[in-house]
């Protein structure tokens, strides 16, 4: 089983990201990942995330979104975690604006592995105390460390 901290890095765990709109946030996600992984093109990442959102919002409720997609040229799962400075409307199922986003990009030939990763992310965000800890994180390292601690049962 893949653990979330193996596909997330402190450099892709960002706090106080300016919101603006759903599209703007997805653009920022794409540029963060492309900056970290130069083999991936930010425009393709963005377009893939937008295409997935058109199938149905990844707004999960409780201020959480889990944007995810299959990505051409992606060889293994990659994630990013963003805490927005201002929540944005994400067409979430409960109508609440989103301020925490856990992004998951998986290879085009994705397997059950990516469903397992989505399940791990969703179950982590299902816990109110985890959402509170993530929202209290003041910097990239503490945001990332919260995920590591939660995965380790701390």
Q: Which domains does the chain have, with CATH numbers?
A: 4-152 (3.40.930.10)
3-state secondary structure of 100: strand
Q: CB-hemisphere CA count at 13 Å for 143?
A: 22
The model scores a pTM over 0.85: yes
pLDDT at residue 83 in the model: 97
**Nearest-CA neighbor of 29 among 1, 58, 56, 2?**
58
Quick: pLDDT tens for 109-147: 867 888 888 999 999 999 999 999 999 999 999 999 999
68 is catalytic: yes
94: CB partners within 8 A, 6+ apart:
59, 61, 62
In the beta sheet, which residues pair with residue 59? 65
pLDDT < 50 regions, the chain: none
Give me the pLDDT at residue 98, please: 97
Considering 12, 22, 68, 83, which one is annotated as catalytic?
68
For residue 21, what are the CA distances in angstroms to 27, 28, 88, 111? 10, 11, 6, 31
- Beta strand ranges found along 7-117 (DSSP E): 13-17, 59-61, 64-65, 68-71, 78-88, 98-107
**What pLDDT was estimated at residue 110?**
65
């Amino acid at each position: 089983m893949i653990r979330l901290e193996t596909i997330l890095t402190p450099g892709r765990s960002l706090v106080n990201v300016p919101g603006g709109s759903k599209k703007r946030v997805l653009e920022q996600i794409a540029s963060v990942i492309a900056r970290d992984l130069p083999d991936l093109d930010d425009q393709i990442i963005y377009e893939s995330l937008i295409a997935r959102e058109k199938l149905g919002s990844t707004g999960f409720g409780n201020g959480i979104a889990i944007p995810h997609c299959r990505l051409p040229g992606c060889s293994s799962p990659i994630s990013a975690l963003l805490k927005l400075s201002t929540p944005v409307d994400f067409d979430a199922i409960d109508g609440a604006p989103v301020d925490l986003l856990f992004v998951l990009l998986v290879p085009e030939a994705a397997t059950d592995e990516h469903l397992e990763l989505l399940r791990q992310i969703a179950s982590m965000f299902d816990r109110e105390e985890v959402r509170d800890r993530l929202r209290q994180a003041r910097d990239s390292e503490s945001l990332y460390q919260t995920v590591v601690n939660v995965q380790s049962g701390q």
